[in-house]
Amino acid sequence: MINKSLVKKRFSKSFSTYDKNALIQKEMAKKLIDLTLKEKKDFNKILEIGSATGILTKEIKMSFAYKKLYINDIASESKFYVDKIEPENTFIEGDIEEVIFNEKFDLIIANASLQWCNDIIGTLNKLKNLLTNNGILAVSMFGDRNLNEVKSIFNIVNNYKTEDIKKFVFFNNSQIFEEEIIKYKFETFIDILKHMKLTGINAIKEIKLTKNSLKEYEKEYITRYSCPILTYNPVYFIVKNF
Ligand SMILES: C[S@@+](CC[C@H](N)C(=O)[O-])C[C@H]1O[C@@H](n2cnc3c(N)ncnc32)[C@H](O)[C@@H]1O
C-alpha cells in the first residue's frame, strides 16, 4: 500500500531540489508531449495530474493550445510553482484516487505520477471515463521494474504489474505503448539514497536508517549489484475515447 501522507510530505519537501535532480522525469515529460502532439495539438479543457514543480506544465504551456488548464496534485505546495507557469490555471488539490470531478476533459495528461496510486487500473478507468468524445488520456509513468535494486534491498513489494497496464491500453484499442529501461550509475549507495530524497521518490517507503543499518544495506547492495546502479523503467501510453 502506498502511504499517501508520506507521498505528500516527501514530495513537498523535495520541490526545492526536484528540478535539478529529476533528469529522467524531464526526458519523460518531453517524450510524452511528442507522443501526444502526434494525436492532437488543440484542446478545450486539459487536466494535468501530479504537477509537482511544473516540469510537464511548462511543456503543456509551450506545446498545446487550450482554453482551460486544470492542474491536480496531492501536495498543495505544487500550486505555488504551477501558478507561476500558468497563472490562469484551476488548481485541484487532492489524491487523484479520491477527487470527484463534475466535468469532462479533452486531454488528461500525467507524467511520473500515476505509479503513486494504490489502484492504478481503477484510476486509469476513472480517468478514461472523464474524457470527452474523442478525448485523449496520455500517460508516462514507471513500470514494475522501476528502482528494482532499491526495492529488493529494502524489501519493497510492487503493488502493480506493467502487464496489467498494457492490457488496459490494448483493451481500449490503442497500440501506443512504449517501455524503456534506463540505468543510472552513482558513486556510492548513499548517493542513490540522496538522489531519491532530492526527487521525493523516497516516499516509496519510510525506512529508519542508523549508521550501522546503512552500512549493512550498503554491503548487501554491493554484494548483489557490484556497483551502485539505479534502474528507471519509464512506460508511455495513449488511450483515446472514441
Ligand atoms: C515524480 S513527481 C512528477 C512531477 C511532474 N509531473 C513532472 O513532470 O516532473 C510526482 C508528483 O505526483 C504527485 N502525486 C503522487 N500521488 C498522487 C496522487 N494520488 N494524486 C495526485 N498527485 C499525486 C506528487 O505529490 C508529486 O508532486
- With both helix axes pointing from N to C terminus, report the angle between 189-198 and 4-21 in degrees, rounded to the nearest 10: 100
Give tens-digit pLDDT for 73-91: 999 999 999 999 999 999 9
Residue pLDDT, tens place only, 145-163: 999 999 999 999 989 999 9
List the single range of 40-44, 114-118, 204-208 with lowest mean pLDDT. Answer: 204-208
104 Cα to the center of ligand 1, angstroms: 21
Considering only CA atoms, which residue is closest to atom 7 of ligand 1? Answer: 55
Cβ of 95 closer than 6 Å to ligand 1, yes or no, is yes
- For 36, the 3-state DSSP assignment is helix
- Name the amino acid, one letter, at 2: I
Length of the chain, in residues: 242
Q: Is the CB of 73 under 6 A from ligand 1?
A: yes
Contact 22, 55 (CB under 8 A): yes
Query: Is the CB–ligand 1 distance for residue 116 below 6 Å?
Result: yes
**Residue 119, Cβ neighbours under 10 Å: how many?**
13
User: Please, is 206 exposed, middle or buried when counting C-beta atoms within 10 Å of its C-beta (0-12, 13-18, 19+)?
Assistant: exposed
Instruction: Give start and end residues of each alpha helix (H) in 47-129.
Output: 55-63, 78-85, 120-128
Q: Which amino acid is at 227?
A: C
Domains annotated on the chain, with CATH: 4-147+156-184+232-240 (3.40.50.150)
Of 113, 126, 201, the residue with max ligand 1 atoms within 8 A of its CB, to mutate for a pocket test, comes to: 113
Q: Is 93 in the pocket of ligand 1 (CB under 6 A)?
A: no
Q: For residue 35, how far is its CA from the centre of ligand 1 (angstroms)?
A: 20
